[in-house]
Structure 1
Amino acid sequence: MASCDACKSGFSWDGKPTGTETTIAGNNTYVTGTSKSAAILIVHDIFGWTFTNLRVLADQFAKEANATVYLPDFFGGEVIPESTLTDPAKRAEVDVPAFLGKNSKAVRWSEIESAAKALKAEYPKLGAIGYCYGGWAITRLAAQKDLVDAVSTAHPSLLEKSEIDAVKVPLQFLAPETDQLFTPELKEYANKVIPTLGVPYEYVYFPGLVHGFATRGDRNNKLQKDGLERAKRSAVNFFNEFLH
């Protein structure tokens, strides 16, 4: 992930988030929706819990998947400014290896698991979706059948084969054609192994698109706009199937 410029670039979307802020398991959290029967946990990319694009997506999931959606802060209050998306100078200042060192799996996994446990204690059904950085965490949650009911991830980062091996709940991958982090080897491995695990599995392929498209794609580019909207619809349909 050290050389992943795609992790730091993209486009901001128009839209005004409509949710509120609260805390879950001690973490500041954006929350939206009114469902009492189903919740969705979002694990963010490196732009964190305040990222407008993710909050707008959370609002859409709440409405279209009939769920209360939670987007906690898993970076200890650190926020990479959204202006970094389109400013090469600011992107160059983002030290991804150092950032990942502060937010490694060993550092953040317990917070993510605790947030999921808090939500599962409150809601009969819990789904989870992760983007980029959040992809490994979502797949790791999928190893706990009593914790989450279904998980989805778009262009996951830091994913390991052992995490794929351990999946025990319905899982969806939203996979762009070009992704230096969800590599062809990992894609092939997932498509070979997960169908042997006895869980519902959905692999949605997005030709012509790249890492980050589902949260930072260009809405003024037809290919990217169609792709990011298809990714959202795919996740909504997936959660509607397994959470209701």
Structure 2
Amino acid sequence: MSSECCKTGFNWTATPTGTETTITASLTTPSSTINTYVTGSSKTAALLMIHDIFGWTFSNLRILADQFAEELGVTVFLPDFFDGEVVDPSTLEDPVKREKFNIPEFIGRNSKEIRFPAMEAVARKLKQDYGKVATIGYCYGAWACLQLSALTTSPTSTSPTPLIAATSIAHPSLLTPAELDAVRSPLQIIAPEHDPAFTPDLKKYANEVVPTLGVAYEYIYFPGLTHGFAAKGDRGDEAQRKGLEKARRDAVGFLGEFL
């Protein structure tokens, strides 16, 4: 995972319209209460958004959540999967803060092994409450979407049903070939041309393997754009603005087929 590409970008100027609440979910007893940004009013379909390293309070992701709620007609949940740790969004545009932000140490505190149990618990809770649940993940959140895509509603069933209706991931980081191998539900990958986190070898692997898994698959390539553009791109730059808006529309189109 390249440190610099994950902690650079632009803050968007808009005001999120959802609310902060909590969601109670657990794979074991006792259950955990997780802070969550919620937007939308559907009672039958939910979208679980898994954040990048800037976490659940990152305004850009909340703005996207509001747009997904409106355009997909679903309820969107953006939970805090960093257990209260928040990265100051001004880090994106402040070279001093970027220099001080140690991503390897941050990932160590928020490793897959530490954070995935809560992600699975929330996904299962949303499945129980809404019937249909899809996922979308940016950067750090993408690996979690793939791991959720490998799960079934009942592991002991002779005819297992995927837990997740569909997933979309944008400029993923920390991805492994094994996570791509295990995908069980429809998958969309939003891939910029320049991305040290989602390498050419991983892109090639995804496009060779996922089409053999028997799931709907869509790979969308954004020439000239870089890692982070879909969630942190510069809206003042025409090429980036067009790219990030297309990435959102593409995600809406793909996920909407399955929700």
Normalising to structure 2: TM-score of the pair? 0.92
Instruction: Give per-residue Cα distances to partners, 1:158-208, cap 9 Å, x unaligned.
Output: 100001000010000000001101110000000000000000000011000
1:171 aligned onto 2:170: no
Return the alpha-carbon distance in structure 1 between the equivalents of residues 209 and 82 of structure 2.
31
Q: TM-score, normalised by structure 1?
A: 0.98
Pick aligned residue for 2:207 from 175, 187, 191: 191
Residue 23 of structure 1 aligns with which residue?
A: 22
Shift of 1:240: 1.0
Aligned-partner Cα distance in 1 for 2:44–2:122: 17
1:139 counterpart residue number: 146
SS at 1:50 equivalent: coil
- Deviation per CA, 1:55-84: give whole Å up to 9, x if none: 000000000011000000001101110110
Equivalent residue in structure 1 for 2:110, among 99, 103, 110? 103
Rounded Cα–Cα distance in structure 2 between residues aligned with 1:27 and 1:128? 17
Residue 44 in structure 1 maps to residue 51 in structure 2: yes
- Report the residue type matching 1:152 in the other structure: S
2-side partners of 1:183 and 1:4: how far apart?
Answer: 14
Match of residue 88 from structure 2: 81
CA contact (8 A) 1:133 1:158 kept: yes
After TM superposition, give the deviation of residue 4 of structure 1 in Å. 2.1
Residue pair 1:112, 1:137 contacting (<8 A) in 2 also:
yes
Distance apart, 1:14 and its partner CA: 1.2
> Match of 1:112?
119
Residue type matched to 1:14 in 2? T
1:6 matched to which residue of 2? 5
Aligned partner of 1:69 in structure 2 is 76
Report % sequence identity: 60
Runs of 4+ in structure 1 over 2 Å off: none
RMSD between aligned residues: 0.7
Give yes or no for contact 1:145–1:169 (8 Å, CA) kept in 2.
no
Cα distance per residue 1:79-125 (max 9 Å; x no partner): 11011010000000101010000000010010110110110110111
User: Which of 227, 230, 248 does residue 211 from structure 1 map onto?
Assistant: 227
- Bigger CA radius of gyration: 2
Structure 1: distance between partners of 2:100 and 2:34: 27
| Unpaired segments ≥5 residues, structure 2 | 26-32, 154-162
Gapped regions of structure 1 (runs ≥ 5) = none
Deviation of the 1:145 alpha carbon: 4.1
- Which residue of structure 1 lines up, in the alignment, with residue 29 of structure 2? none
Report the 3-state secondary structure (helix = DSSP H, G, I; strand = E; otherwise coil) of the residue aligned with 1:242: coil
Q: How far apart, in 1, do the equivalents of 2:199 and 2:101 lie?
A: 23
Residue deviations 1:105-149, cap 9 Å, x none? Answer: 010010110110110110111000000000100011111243110
Matching residue within 67, 72, 91 for 1:60 = 67
Matched pairs, number: 242
SS at match of 2:61: helix
